[in-house]
């Protein structure tokens, strides 16, 4: 009788306090693992879109063209420069002067070409910045993650009813930890990464193009307003943008999307995934795989976690 009772007895369950501690740690571990995976290809597949104000600029250039048809009978347009940066520079040096001199169509056409040319560098900006600053960015991410407090971490890992992991874990949100981090802390992370990325962004062709294009656009806006009509009253405004802040935030958004996809994949097969050795971070692969499963948590599991397993 005694032997039978001993054989059927379950190990002591993990206490609620220990479960919360271990779940918090494993949320962080998941994010450390997936952020390293997100950066592994140096951002080659990350493409960010030009800022929304570029579309505003394009729309406003269309309005400039309408105004040009109304007020000017221009001669031949100056042919824009063939290179990307040359096109933007051409617009900056000619647009306002052309408006003032009456060659309105020429100025608007040059500006239109410059807007199109500006969009090209965005195809590689993320790759270019990450390729040079990858290690610093990863270290910033990991430092932030290891100090971050996830809200209700056990439910993030095991779903809304963690007391019944067999039923609850398969229904847990597949990217729950990464999507929470993106919503709750994405802007904080971007601010921490910004100083690392800022210098490379400022030296990149995209910034040189933007500065020249923005100057050309605003000069054209000013020249139109002084010579023909008050553009502000027609809803056509000058534009401003903190470009390096925008680019940094967009890179973080795209990294977080990759982190979410990697989390969803790892949840299906967590064994051996916590294998990052970086600075003071040491993996605990057994505890990680156990937490991201539907198995009940026992007191011995917490002891193993404390012992680095």
Q: How confident is the model at residue 122 (pLDDT cuts 50, 70, 90)?
A: confident
The count of other CB atoms within 10 Å of the CB of residue 111 is 33
For the ranges 70-74, 96-100, 145-149, 249-253, the lowest mean pLDDT is seen at 96-100
Widest Cα–Cα separation across the chain? 106
Q: How much is the pLDDT for 89? A: 41
Please determine, for residue 120, whether its predicted confidence score (pLDDT) is greater than 60. yes
Please determine, for residue 290, whether its predicted confidence score (pLDDT) is greater than 60. yes
DSSP 122: G
Q: How confident is the model at residue 215 (pLDDT cuts 50, 70, 90)?
A: confident
Compute the mean pLDDT over every residue in the chain, rounded to the nearest whole number. Answer: 86
For the ranges 15-24, 65-74, 239-248, 257-266, the lowest mean pLDDT is seen at 65-74
Q: What are the respective helix, strand and coil percentages of the chain, to the nearest 5?
A: 70, 0, 30
Please determine, for residue 221, whether its predicted confidence score (pLDDT) is greater than 50. yes
Beta bridge partners of 13: 298
Please determine, for residue 57, whether its predicted confidence score (pLDDT) is greater than 90. no
Long-range residue pairs from 79-86, CB within 8 A, at least 24 positions apart, any chain: 80/109, 80/110, 80/113, 80/114, 84/117, 84/120, 84/121, 84/205, 84/209, 85/117, 85/205, 85/208, 85/209, 85/212
Backbone angles phi and psi of 196, in degrees to 5: -75, -40
Please report the DSSP string for 154-216 in residue order.
HHHHH-S-TTSHHHHGGGS-TTHHHHHHHHHHHHHHHHHHHHHHHHHHHTSHHHHHHHHHHHH
pTM of the model: 0.84
Distances (CA, A) of 248 to 119, 122, 201, 208, 284: 17, 12, 9, 16, 32
Please determine, for residue 81, whether its predicted confidence score (pLDDT) is greater than 60. no
Please determine, for residue 98, whether its predicted confidence score (pLDDT) is greater than 70. no
Could you identify the residue written with the tokens 């990350």? 46
Higher pLDDT, 102 or 287: 287
Q: How much is the pLDDT for 125? A: 94
Q: How much is the pLDDT for 7? A: 52
Q: Where are the domains of the chain?
A: 15-30+44-306
Tell me how far apart the alpha carbons of residues 116 and 83 are, in angstroms, rounded to a whole number.
12
Q: If you average pLDDT over residues 75-94, what whole number do you get?
A: 43
Please determine, for residue 8, whether its predicted confidence score (pLDDT) is greater than 60. yes
Q: If you average pLDDT over residues 153-174, what whole number do you get?
A: 96
pLDDT (tens digit, 9 = 90+) per residue, 172-211?
Answer: 999 999 999 999 999 999 999 999 999 999 999 999 889 8
Please determine, for residue 92, whether its predicted confidence score (pLDDT) is greater than 70. no
Q: How confident is the model at residue 71 (pLDDT cuts 50, 70, 90)?
A: low
Cα 49 to chain centroid distance, Å, stands at: 11
**305, 284 contact by CB (below 8 A):** yes
């Amino acid at each position: 009788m005694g032997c039978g009772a001993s054989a059927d007895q379950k190990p002591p369950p993990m206490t609620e306090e220990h479960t919360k501690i271990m779940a918090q740690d494993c949320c962080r571990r998941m994010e450390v693992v997936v952020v390293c995976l997100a950066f592994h290809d140096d951002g080659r597949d990350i493409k960010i879109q030009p800022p929304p104000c570029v579309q505003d600029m394009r729309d406003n250039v269309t309005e400039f063209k309408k105004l040009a048809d109304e007020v000017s009978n221009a001669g031949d347009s100056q042919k824009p420069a063939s290179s990307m940066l040359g096109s933007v520079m051409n617009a900056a040096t000619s647009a306002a002067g052309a408006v003032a001199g009456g060659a309105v169509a020429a100025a608007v056409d040059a500006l239109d070409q410059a807007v199109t040319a500006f969009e090209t560098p965005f195809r590689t900006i993320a790759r270019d910045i990450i390729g040079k600053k990858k290690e610093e960015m990863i270290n910033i991410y990991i430092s932030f993650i290891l100090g971050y407090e996830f809200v209700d971490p056990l439910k993030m890992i095991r779903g809304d009813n963690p007391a019944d992991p067999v039923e609850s874990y398969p229904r847990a949100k597949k990217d729950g930890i990464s999507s929470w981090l993106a919503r709750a802390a994405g802007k904080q992370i971007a601010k921490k990464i910004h100083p690392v990325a800022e210098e490379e962004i400022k030296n990149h062709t995209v910034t040189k193009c933007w500065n020249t294009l923005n100057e050309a656009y605003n000069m054209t806006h000013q020249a139109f307003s002084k010579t023909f009509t008050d553009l502000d009253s027609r809803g056509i405004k000058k534009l401003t943008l903190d470009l390096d802040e925008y680019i940094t935030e967009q890179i973080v958004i795209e990294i977080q999307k990759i982190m979410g996809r990697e989390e969803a994949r790892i949840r299906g097969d967590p064994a051996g995934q916590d294998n990052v050795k970086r600075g003071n971070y040491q993996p605990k692969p057994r505890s990680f795989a156990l937490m991201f499963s539907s198995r009940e948590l026992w007191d011995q599991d917490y002891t193993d976690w404390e012992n680095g397993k």
